[in-house]
Chain A
Amino acid sequence: MINQLENMEYKANNPLLTTLVASFMATGSVFAGYIPNQSINYTGMVHENYDYQATKQSTHISNIITNNIVFDTSTTIEKTIIEKIDSVFGYKVLDIEKSSLTDDEGTFSIYTMLLDLETRDYSKLLDEEWELSEQLGLYEQNIILRFV
């Protein structure tokens, strides 16, 4: 539309039309300015999604704590392991899952634990996993730890 008005002004060379075109172009630029705003809004939506995911994750974690999935395991081996992980290495356990494995040497209980760590050095974690197993004599009890 602005292009059409510019053409009209060029053809008619009319001062009134020039003023009209100028005002339309000014309005148009304001209108055009809305387009990047829209993309900013869209970016904002993306950010909202990220926030949503973060919230969702932290809700999941808080659910674990508030629903006592992890910590309401009083007098069980899980509680001992969780407390030891905290006291020996200073890691919090966010989630725990128990599974079993049977091979030639018998049936093993595997405790897979999700640790509250920002970065994970698995070389170190694997050593710590074994260190704790030895400390608690877990291998003799057919218990395997997995830190993830």
Chain B
Amino acid sequence: MEDFNINYYAHHTRFIYCLFQNYSNMNNLGNCQEAFEKVSEESLLRDFMSRAYYTVFLKARNEMFLSDSVSHSDVLNQLDPKYKNMFRDLKTFRVDADYKTDYPITYPLKNDKVKGQYYLERLISIMDKFLSATGEQLAYSHVTLRENKKRKFLIGEI
């Protein structure tokens, strides 16, 4: 079930990303369609940012043998600093995407749409790095990783 969740989120996020790119590439549209495109672009981007974060959260949680009820902070605390930075990156964008309604998130850096596109590519790349990483790569402490695995084994979750 956990693997299904990760795969579901990964595919869902990729799907949203592809939709966003397709919408962005459509330039010769009428006014109504343009308006529709702008709204869709915004909501698709927000959806993409939010799902990208949950995808890596689930992946990190499962690879590090943490329980389902673990908090997001616990996952962050056990990550290697390199992945921690990327995790923080996605988390910031997730919070912006879900809660910041005072400006369009399609233009995250000084209202420049080009840079917004760079952000998207960066986020999908971070997601790829997380999805291809093993527990040993993601975890800061291998001792803690082994303890987590042992605990999960003892309670019969693995």
Contact = CB atoms under 8 A, between A and B. Distances in A.
A122 B73 CA distance: 26
Contact of A123 (B110, B114, B125): B125
Nearest to A131: B82
B88 A114 contact: no
Contact of B128 (A97, A123, A129): A123
Interface residues of B, number: 24
B126 interface: yes
Interface in B47-85: 73, 76-77, 81-82, 85
Interface residues of A, number: 24
Main secondary structure of the interface of B (DSSP, over half): helix
Given A120-B118, A126-B122, A146-B89, 17 more contacts: A95-B109, A101-B92, A104-B73, A104-B76, A105-B76, A112-B109, A114-B109, A122-B121, A122-B125, A125-B122, A130-B85, A133-B85, A139-B85, A144-B88, A144-B89, A146-B122, A148-B122
12 contacts: A95-B110, A103-B91, A104-B77, A105-B76, A105-B77, A112-B109, A122-B121, A122-B122, A123-B129, A125-B125, A148-B115, A148-B122
Interface of B: 73, 76-77, 81-82, 85-86, 88-89, 91-92, 109-110, 114-115, 118-119, 121-122, 124-126, 128-129
